[in-house]
Amino acid sequence: MDAPSFVDECTIHVRGGNGGNGAVSFRREAHVPRGGPDGGDGGDGGDVILAADRNTTSLLDLHRAPHRRGRDGIHGSGMGKTGASGDDAVLRVPLGTIVRDLDTGTVLADLVRDGQRYTAARGGRGGRGNAAFANRYRRVPRFAEHGEKVRERALRLELKLIADVGLVGFPSAGKSSLVGRLSAATPRVEAWPFTTLTPHLGVMRAGDTADGTPIDVVLADVPGLIEGAAEGKGLGTRFLRHIERCLLLLHVLDAMPFEPDRDPVHDLAALRGELGRHDPDLLERPQLVVINKVDLPDGRAMAELVGDQLGTAGEEVLEVSAVTGEGLDRLRYRLGELVAAERARLGDVRVAEGAGEEEVVLHLGPRGPDFVVGRTDSGAYEVSGERVERWVQMLPLEEPGAVRYLQGRLRRAGVEKALVARGARVGDDVVIGDAVFDFDPDLDDLPADERAEILAAEAEDDPDEARSAAATDASDGANADVALDDDLEDGRDDVEAADPEVGG
Ligand SMILES: Nc1nc2c(ncn2[C@@H]2O[C@H](COP(=O)(O)OP(=O)(O)OP(=O)(O)O)[C@@H](O)[C@H]2O)c(=O)[nH]1
Ligand SMILES: [Mg+2]
């Protein structure tokens, strides 16, 4: 039954909600002769967020329903009403979920602690209402922004369990029996091999450490390995990824295996061979060996014989019985000691690799140039860049006022200069996103006063421009807060989620 309920890899397609449209509206009141623009802003679309949750054990839900979206923002309306923001879609994932870009394989986030969140897809920004475009020079703005439309993103999720001790052993060696005895977990135990089909965790209270505080140790019970697992025999090494992040490995050896060609010494060598073929680094972890089933007739004699042999070879070996409980106190104590030592050495992060980077949940690459100018096959100039394309998408280009506003923005962003530098001349086609423009670079042919007025109006549109440029520079490195610096770039105040009654 548990095979289909455990999924440790899946691809998801996520998309934030689109932003709501800004409204075009003018105040009309009986006693106010000339009402001003009062179109409110659209609400922002909801994000898609991955949240690490200790109570979620597999990626099954996402595997079954891999397409997830944030809710769209509500459109703004008259009387300055801002539309409500769309709700975020919060997707719970197990601790140890690694998020990659599906196409490039780049690791975007590694969610290892309960409550860690990664914004997998950002919602679109709400468009500004026409009231936002009013200034001394543009008293009657007849346009508002559309809400930002956002694209879908494909992500690959991979779960690598976060545990302290990984139990490895042949099928039926007694791994699950041990986890059942040592922790509150109740894994299935049967007399036949491959009873455990998916990894499980159990939490063990491991006695007192040196300073007297008890420590909790997380045990990972993984499906049994057999010789040839690395080549796919048995369940193969498909589940070995779940011990990759364990602090130490516990080899569980059967004192009295049924197969005549097996014995504990041979089994240990075979297990190490399979581990090494999966990932040689695994063999560098601290390792402890238990010989289980010493309660069986001849079990103890065998354990003593083998124990001496392995001990001479430098192994640390404990003899136990998961059935009678013999040796388990000693095992519990020793595991506690070893785990405490490893945590002290690695800084108690419960993650063997990448320690120290774990708080950084959002890994953004360094910010590239805001836009690039290229040529299309037909010879047109093409300006591409997220911000620039967003401006074009969000403005109603059938409105002359909006086009003029856009031109100002492009000019100030340096797009015109870059086009000229690339060789564009008046009348050439310029493609930005889905729109095609005639290149009309500067205002030089306009009468001086008209030109001054346009420039003054533009300056009022973006009073925070200087601040915005500074913020953009400062956020150059990883982990930039995109939302913040984009808001500054618009020179608008943060539009908070509106009163839920409005426009809902
Ligand atoms: N006599 C005896 N039998 C044991 C002991 N530990 C486990 N067993 C038995 O060995 C069989 C296999 O035990 P499991 O705990 O399911 O073994 P496992 O290593 O988890 O096996 P897989 O999940 O198939 O890899 C069961 O019949 C257990 O009752 C022990 O200490 N003594
Ligand atoms: Mg088992």
Q: If we measure between CA atoms, which residue out of 41, 50, 15, 21 comes closest to residue 123? A: 15
Residue 471 CB contacts under 8 Å (≥ 6 apart), including other chains: 484, 485, 488, 489
Counting from 1 in the atom list of ligand 1, the atom nearest the Cα of 194 is 24
The CA 160 to ligand 2 mean position distance, Å, reads 19
Does the structural domain 165-346 have CATH classification 1.10.620.20? no
Give the model's pLDDT for residue 360.
Answer: 39
Q: If we measure between CA atoms, which residue out of 354, 395, 337, 367 comes closest to residue 164? A: 337
Residue type present at position 214: P
Residue type present at position 32: V
Counting from 1 in the atom list of ligand 1, the atom nearest the Cα of 171 is 25
Q: Is 169 close to ligand 1, i.e. is its CB under 6 Å away?
A: yes
Give the model's pLDDT for residue 358.
Answer: 39
The CA 173 to ligand 2 mean position distance, Å, reads 8
Task: Give the residue, out of 172, 296, 320, 328, with the most ligand 1 atoms within 8 A of its beta carbon, to mutate for a pocket test.
Answer: 172
**pLDDT tens, N- to C-terminus, the chain (504 residues):** 444 567 889 999 999 999 999 999 988 776 766 678 999 999 999 999 999 998 888 899 999 999 999 999 999 999 999 999 999 999 999 999 999 999 999 899 999 888 999 999 999 999 999 999 988 778 889 999 999 999 999 999 999 888 899 999 999 999 999 999 999 888 889 888 888 888 888 889 886 656 667 788 999 998 999 888 888 888 878 888 888 889 999 999 999 998 888 999 999 999 999 999 999 999 999 999 999 999 999 999 999 999 999 999 999 999 999 999 999 999 999 999 999 888 888 875 544 344 333 343 444 445 567 889 999 888 899 999 988 999 999 999 998 889 888 988 888 888 888 888 888 888 889 999 989 988 876 665 566 666 676 666 666 665 444 333 333 333 333 332 322 233 333 333 333 333 333 333
Task: Specify the residue for token string 């159990």.
Answer: 202
Q: If we measure between CA atoms, which residue out of 438, 416, 440 comes closest to residue 429? A: 438
Give the model's pLDDT for residue 5.
Answer: 66
Q: Is 224 close to ligand 1, i.e. is its CB under 6 Å away?
A: yes
Residue nearest atom 2 in ligand 1 by C-alpha distance? 293
Q: Residue 337, SS3?
A: helix
* CATH code at 1-160+354-365+468-504: 2.70.210.12
Dihedral sign for Cα 203, 204, 206, 207, please: positive
Domain definitions of the chain by residue range: 1-160+354-365+468-504, 165-346, 368-442
Q: Is 194 close to ligand 1, i.e. is its CB under 6 Å away?
A: yes
CB 154 within 8 A of CB 95: no
Residue nearest atom 8 in ligand 1 by C-alpha distance? 174
| Residue 194: C-alpha distances to residues 3, 169, 174, 189, 239 (Å) | 11, 11, 11, 10, 13
Q: If we measure between CA atoms, which residue out of 329, 319, 328, 340 comes closest to residue 217? A: 340
Class of CATH domain 368-442: alpha beta
Q: If we measure between CA atoms, which residue out of 405, 366, 416 comes closest to residue 490? A: 405
Counting from 1 in the atom list of ligand 1, the atom nearest the Cα of 167 is 19
Q: What is the pTM of this model?
A: 0.74
Residue 346, Cβ density class (10 Å: 0-12 exposed, 13-18 middle, ≥19 buried): middle
Dihedral sign for Cα 117, 187, 205, 162, please: negative
Q: Is 179 close to ligand 1, i.e. is its CB under 6 Å away?
A: no
Dihedral sign for Cα 183, 187, 191, 192, please: negative
Residue 444 CB contacts under 8 Å (≥ 6 apart), including other chains: 451
Give the model's pLDDT for residue 421.
Answer: 87
The order of strands in the sheet holding 97-101 is 67-69, 9-15, 153-159, 97-101, 107-111
Q: Residue 72, SS3?
A: coil
What is the separation of C-alpha 191 from the centre of its chain, rounded to a whole number of angstroms?
A: 41
What is the separation of C-alpha 212 from the centre of its chain, rounded to a whole number of angstroms?
A: 38
Q: Which ligand is nearest to the CA of 252?
A: 1
Residue nearest atom 13 in ligand 1 by C-alpha distance? 174
Q: Is 70 close to ligand 1, i.e. is its CB under 6 Å away?
A: no
Counting from 1 in the atom list of ligand 1, the atom nearest the Cα of 252 is 19
Counting from 1 in the atom list of ligand 1, the atom nearest the Cα of 177 is 15
Residue nearest atom 30 in ligand 1 by C-alpha distance? 293
Residue nearest atom 14 in ligand 1 by C-alpha distance? 174
Give the model's pLDDT for residue 205.
Answer: 87
User: CA 319, CA 45: separation in Å to the nearest integer?
Assistant: 60
Q: If we measure between CA atoms, which residue out of 403, 375, 410 comes closest to residue 389? A: 410
Q: Is 256 close to ligand 1, i.e. is its CB under 6 Å away?
A: no
User: CA 10, CA 28: separation in Å to the nearest integer?
Assistant: 55
Residue type present at position 427: G
Q: How far apart are the first and last CA of the chain?
A: 44
Q: Where are the beta strands (DSSP E) in 60-152?
A: 67-69, 89-93, 97-101, 107-111, 117-121
Q: If we measure between CA atoms, which residue out of 266, 221, 251, 252 comes closest to residue 239? A: 221
Q: Do domains 165-346 and 368-442 have the same CATH topology?
A: no
Residue 230, Cβ density class (10 Å: 0-12 exposed, 13-18 middle, ≥19 buried): middle
- The neighbouring-strand residues paired with 91 are 50
Q: If we measure between CA atoms, which residue out of 25, 45, 43, 44 comes closest to residue 35? A: 25
Which residues, by Cβ under 5 Å, contact ligand 2, an ion? 176, 195-196
